[in-house]
């Protein structure tokens, strides 16, 4: 859709996410960036927890959604943005750990819609465990239109 010089970079993605109040509120951060692939981290915070010491499925879904759509955002040209049209989460295990790590990737990049996916892992001293996977569809649009 855009050549590499016209695409958003890691700083642009961080700025886009920082402008979203829910991202700031829960403490989501970009861990790593490559075109079409972004890793998002979220440290465990008690006030957003579910059953004792667990990230609830809703938070796993949010982190996965942000990673999946941010990976799609990384392929858009400057002057464009996106919004999630829909996403689904499938929990694959307990989300117990000090951090959630969501590894987002683009499945299909389009001009008006894109599809991304993310695998979400619970990271702890005991190891890293897949706890969910997210599939998200975006609506891509030129800013100001």
Instruction: List, for residues 59-87, the tens digit of each pLDDT value.
Output: 999 999 999 999 999 999 999 999 999 99
Phi and psi for 48 in degrees, rounded to 5? -105, 15
Q: What is the pLDDT of residue 123?
A: 97
Count Cβ atoms within 10 A of the Cβ of residue 58 and give its class: 0-12 exposed, 13-18 middle, 19 or more buried: exposed
Q: Give whole-number Cα distances, 57 to 7, 77, 94, 116, 122, in Å.
A: 32, 32, 9, 19, 12
pLDDT, tens digit (0-9, with 9 covering 90-100), for 97-122? 999 999 999 999 999 999 999 999 99
* Domain, as residue range, for 84: 4-142
CATH code, 93: 3.10.129.10
Across 28-50, average pLDDT: 93
Is the predicted pLDDT of residue 4 greater than 80, yes or no? Answer: no
pLDDT, tens digit (0-9, with 9 covering 90-100), for 119-135? 999 999 999 999 999 99
Across 1-25, average pLDDT: 83
Structural domains counted in the chain: 1
Q: What is the pLDDT of residue 145?
A: 61
Largest CA distance in the chain: 48
Q: What is the pLDDT of residue 52?
A: 80
Contact between 59 and 96 under an 8 Å Cβ cutoff? The reply is no
Q: What is the pLDDT of residue 10?
A: 85
As a whole number, the mean pLDDT across the chain is: 93
């Amino acid at each position: 859709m855009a050549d590499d010089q016209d695409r958003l970079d890691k700083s642009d993605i961080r700025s886009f996410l920082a402008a979203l109040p829910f991202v700031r509120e829960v403490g989501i951060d970009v861990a790593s960036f490559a075109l079409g692939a972004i890793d998002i981290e979220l440290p465990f915070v008690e006030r957003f927890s579910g059953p004792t010491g667990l990230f609830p499925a809703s938070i796993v879904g949010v982190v996965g959604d942000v990673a999946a759509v941010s990976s799609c955002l990384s392929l858009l040209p400057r002057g464009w943005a996106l919004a999630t049209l829909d996403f689904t989460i499938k929990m694959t295990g307990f989300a117990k750990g000090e951090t959630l790590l969501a590894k987002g990737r683009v499945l299909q990049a389009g001009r008006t819609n894109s599809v991304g996916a993310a695998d979400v892992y619970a990271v702890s001293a005991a190891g890293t465990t897949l706890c969910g996977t997210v599939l998200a569809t975006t609506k891509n649009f030129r800013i100001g239109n």
